[in-house]
Amino acid sequence: MEISQNSEKIDRKFALPVDSEHKATEFRLFSLANPHMRAFHLSWISFFSCFVSTFAAPPLLPIIRDNLNLTATDIGNAGIAAVSGAVFARVAMGTACDLFGPRLASSALILLTAPAVFLTAIANSPAAFLMVRFFTGFSLATFVSTQFWMSSMFSPAVVGTANGLSGGWGNLGGGATQLIMPLVYSLIHSHIGSTQFTAWRIAFFIPAFCQTLSAFAIFFLGQDMPDGNYVRLENSGEKHKDSFSQVFYHAITNYRGWILALTYGYCFGVELTIDNIIAQYFYDRFNVNLHTAGVIAASFGLANLFSRPGGGVLSDVVARRFGMRGRLWTLWVVQMIGGLLCLLLGKVGSLTASIAVMLVFSVFVQAACGLTFGVVPFVSRRSLGVISGMTGGGGNVGAVLTQVIFFRGSRYSTEEGITLMGVMIMCCSLPILFIYFPQWGGLFFGPTKGSTEQDYYLSEWSTAEKEQGFHKMSVKFAENSKTERGRKGASAPIISDSENPSAVL
């Protein structure tokens, strides 16, 4: 009775119901309740602004191309630069989140990359244009802090939904910028009277300002965890200050993180590639005007309003009945269908059919992104940030490789590149078949007898660390993640064969 009363007292600190880690067990989209829903809205808005900044150039490329005398190779290199900068930045961001918290890590990166957006306005050569796109692309690493933050605020039952919505609505920036930048450019050029080559430069001040504003909002209004910021929790002894070496080691030695990085490279990586090429593809192949090409391209990115969040929600829904195995099966099926649709997109030759296939393709490829981050929070509790960074970085690596191989220079036409990209999606989805959690199972095999959630998550801590109580948060997470057994296994407790958890295999 006493425990129940204490639990109720703790719960009253929050507007949403919470679990033993004080993570919200419900997701209320239209709430601004602090800290859970406030963190959600701050995370997706800031990520949205970074996405707009990173992809502000593609919809204006026909104008920028003429102003800076860009060749097809220059444009391809700049597109690659925009996504390659975030490869290592995402891994670094994951580590920073583990060590310093998502609030400080995110706001610092957004502020550090904002000057590159402002400097785009004075780019006067292909090399300068490439450099500003490269450094602006670092801001895409805020995706990692977004997913880490949501995984720190929401319980396993709704974490897929929270991750899907925050990531998906942030990714909306890739579609919104296709509408925003041509509109801003048009207003400056037509209504203010600036020349074409001046108007596109002035237009970049809008995303730069919004990005800067979002950084200050996160820093002053955000909170790292339900119980407070990292500094206060570490100073009070409520949270163990972890070491970089241990956090990094337990991430890179977990093969599940590498597989998810590969597969994410061919869902989110493909999405980044499409963001870079699709407006110019419709402009050049079907001879539509700049505004129409921008609207068509925007429709791909704007599908993130529901497609990526839908993937996250679907992940949580199937997990309630089928557990982690349901999450993995759904991810594999959806990503394979996305690959088939991408292949088809490169084959159709009419404008109407291309738009229709592109829209359906966008739903599946973006849903696969949401489904991926329905699995990521369960790969590691101790190294969640680095695992998130590895997976997110994999998305950028996939985008870089795809653009280098298929869309750089004139070796392949754009439609041939899109077809081959579909083949790559299907091939890189196959390793999902090998993901196996001993306590829950995988696609084809059930859980290992006697293996528990505590066995899995406590294996990341040494005996000495456990004696000092550093593993307590992992114990709580293990208890709360029993929902991943699915409906059939949730009511059947599994007794471990050993008190000392075995190594994670």
Distance from C-alpha of 490 to C-alpha of 500, rounded to nearest angstrom:
23
User: Pick the residue with more confidence: 314 or 82?
Assistant: 314
Q: Do residues 371 and 311 touch, judged by C-beta distance below 8 A? A: yes
490 versus 76: the higher-pLDDT residue is 76
Would you list the DSSP string of 300-367? HHHGGGTHHHHHHHHHHHHHHHHHHHHHHHHHHHHHHHHHHHHHHHHH--SHHHHHHHHHHHHHHHHH
| Sign of the CA dihedral with 169 first, then 322, 94, and 467 last | positive
Per-residue burial over 73-103, b if 16 or more Cβ lie within 10 Å, else e, is ebbbbbbbbbbbbbbebbbbbbbbbbbbbbb
Mean pLDDT of the chain: 89
Q: What is the reported pLDDT for 490? A: 53
Q: Is pLDDT of 433 > 90?
A: yes
What are the pLDDT digits (tens) for 272-284? Answer: 889 878 888 888 8
Give the pair of three-digit tokens for residue 325: 């195995």
Cα 336 from Cα 5, distance rounded (Å): 49
Q: How far, in Å, CA of 78 to CA of 69, rounded? A: 13
- Which residues lie across from 441 on neighbouring strands? 437
The Cβ of residue 312 has, within 10 Å, a number of other Cβ atoms equal to 29
Question: Look-up: residue for tokens 């759904």?
Answer: 330
Please give the distance of CA 18 from its chain centroid, rounded to a whole number: 24
CA distance 300 to 271: 9
Beta bridge partners of 228: 225
- Model pLDDT, residue 502: 43
Reported pTM? 0.85
Residue owning tokens 């081959």: 420
* Chain segment 287-298, per-residue pLDDT in tens: 888 778 888 888
Handedness of CA 219, 220, 226, 228 (dihedral sign): positive
Whether 474 and 460 have beta carbons less than 8 Å apart is answered as yes
For residue 324, give every residue at least 6 positions away whose Cβ sits within 8 Å of its Cβ, in sequence order, or none: 375, 378, 437, 440, 441, 484, 485, 486
Report yes or no: 84 and 137 within 8 Å, Cβ to Cβ.
Answer: yes
Query: In 3D, which of 486, 473, 388 has the Cα closest to residue 19?
Result: 473
Model confidence band, residue 261 (pLDDT cutoffs 50, 70, 90): very high
Question: Are residues 76 and 198 in contact, defined by beta-carbon separation less than 8 angstroms?
Answer: no
Give the integer Cα–Cα distance in Å for 14 and 6: 14
Q: Are strands 436-437 and 441-442 parallel, antiparallel or unpaired?
A: antiparallel
Residue 9 confidence (pLDDT): 40
Lowest mean pLDDT among 178-192, 371-385, 485-499: 485-499
Angle at 380 between CA 500 and CA 486, to 5 degrees: 85
pLDDT of the residue at 505: 45
CA distances from 150 to 11, 27, 162 (A): 19, 11, 6
List pLDDT tens digits, range 381-418: 999 999 999 999 999 899 889 988 888 777 888 899 99
Question: Are the C-beta atoms of residues 280 and 65 closer than 8 Å to each other?
Answer: no
Indicate if the alpha-carbon torsion angle 312, 313, 314, 315 is positive or negative: positive
Give 500's pLDDT tier (boundaries 50, 70, 90): very low
What is d(CA 28, CA 38) in angstroms, rounded to the nearest whole number? 11
Residue from 117, 60, 123, 50 nearest 90 by CA: 50
Q: In 10 A of CB 33, how many CB atoms?
A: 14
Per-residue CA distances from 197 to 90, 114, 130, 355 (Å)? 34, 22, 18, 30
pLDDT digits (tens, 9 = 90+) for 322-373: 999 999 999 999 999 999 999 999 999 899 999 999 999 999 999 999 999 9
Give the CA count within 13 Å in the CB-facing half-sphere of 430.
5
Is pLDDT above 70 for 496? Answer: no
